[in-house]
């Protein structure tokens, strides 16, 4: 089964990093977060990827084009450009890189890769989020309900502690960074049937996947949510990248399932 990844946005809220490179190429532990996402799927034997490019598309193309060379020990004969490979530490990724437009929104990017999924079921996620989702359990859940689409729902911890204070200023309860407020949000990591493209028949270049087609799919009772109770983190801003880097360096990267 193929995995489609949105990797074309400008990453404006992470401009400290994305002026020079696209957001999915911002590094955690010396590797782009996009690499971490591919490794998460590879752990469950999903090795074929379709990456929707846009902003600084050539940066990602060149990374994968040179990936084998950069992860191998080689001897290069400059006189004839012959290359001998002595050792290689590369993954079994098969990566299809599609330039889906600089300003195209997510629904438009998804529409533009339709022919590459070959009218088959596929997975979809964003190029800036990591998690310890069990993709086999996610797929089993999708198979159990028979709808067109499944998204992975998560509860995000609050950024600040919650206080309950009485009229006298006394603190009755204090909870440090509670897990949301009982609300579940879209965490990405979709499983989709090819029938979802019937919701992408119009010009989708300015349409957001979540606000347009996905809403219609839900209205037609064709969307289900897989509740993920484990780790999930989106690299939305610089503080998120710093947190992920600290987790990796301290051996607490829960998304590292490989």
> Could you write out the DSSP letters of every residue in the chain?
-EEEEEE----GGGHHHHTTS-GGG-EETTEEHHHHHHHHHHTTT--EEEEEE-TTHHHHHHHHHTHHHHTEEEEEETTTTEEEEEEE-----EEEEEE--SS--HHHHHHHTGGGGTTS-EEEEETTEEE---HHHHHHHHHHH--SEEEEEE-PBPSS-EEEE-TTS-EEEEESS-BTTS--EE---EEE-GGGGGG--S--TT--TTTTHHHHHHHTT-EEEEE--S-EEE--SHHHHHHHHHHHHTT--TT---
Residue 46 placed within a domain: yes
Residue 104 placed within a domain: yes
Instruction: For residue 176, name the pLDDT band (cuts at 50, 70, 90).
Output: low
Q: pLDDT tens-digit profile of 59-84? A: 999 999 999 989 999 999 999 989 99
Q: pLDDT tens-digit profile of 110-142? A: 999 999 999 999 999 999 999 999 999 999 999
Residue 174 placed within a domain: no
The predicted structure's pLDDT at residue 164:
67
Q: State how far the Cα of 241 lies from the Cα of 26, in Å rounded to an integer.
A: 8
Domains contained in the chain, number? 1
Residue 219 placed within a domain: yes
Residue 169 placed within a domain: no
Model-wide pTM > 0.75: yes
Under a CB-based contact definition with an 8 Å cutoff, are residues 4 and 115 in contact?
Answer: no
| Residue 145 domain boundaries | 2-156+182-249
Residue 170 placed within a domain: no
Q: State how far the Cα of 84 lies from the Cα of 78, in Å rounded to an integer.
A: 12
Residue 168 placed within a domain: no
Instruction: For residue 167, name the pLDDT band (cuts at 50, 70, 90).
Output: low
Residue 176 placed within a domain: no
What CATH number did the domain enclosing 192 receive? Answer: 3.90.550.10
């Amino acid at each position: 089964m193929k995995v489609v990844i949105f990797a074309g946005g400008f990453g404006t809220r992470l401009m400290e990093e994305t002026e020079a490179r696209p957001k999915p190429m911002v590094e955690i532990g010396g590797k782009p977060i996009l690499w971490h996402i591919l490794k998460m799927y590879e752990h469950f034997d999903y090795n074929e990827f379709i990456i929707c490019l846009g902003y600084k598309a050539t940066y990602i193309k060149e990374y994968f084009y040179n990936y084998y060379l950069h992860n191998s020990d080689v001897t290069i004969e400059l006189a004839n450009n012959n290359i001998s490979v002595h050792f290689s530490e590369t993954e079994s990724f098969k990566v299809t890189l599609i330039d889906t437009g600089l300003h195209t929104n997510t629904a438009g990017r998804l529409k533009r890769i339709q022919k590459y999924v070959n009218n088959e079921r596929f997975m979809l996620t964003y190029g800036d989020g990591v998690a310890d989702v069990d993709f086999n359990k996610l797929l089993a859940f999708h198979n159990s309900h028979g709808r067109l689409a499944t998204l992975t729902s998560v509860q995000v911890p609050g950024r600040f502690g919650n206080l309950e204070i009485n009229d006298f200023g006394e603190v009755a309860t204090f909870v440090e960074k509670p897990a949301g407020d009982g609300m579940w949000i879209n965490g990405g990591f979709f499983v989709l049937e090819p029938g979802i493209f019937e919701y992408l028949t119009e010009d989708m270049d300015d349409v957001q996947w979540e606000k347009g087609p996905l809403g219609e799919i839900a209205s037609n009772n064709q969307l289900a949510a897989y509740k993920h109770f484990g780790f999930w983190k989106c690299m939305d801003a610089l503080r998120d990248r710093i947190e992920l880097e600290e987790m990796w360096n301290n051996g607490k990267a829960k998304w590292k399932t490989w």
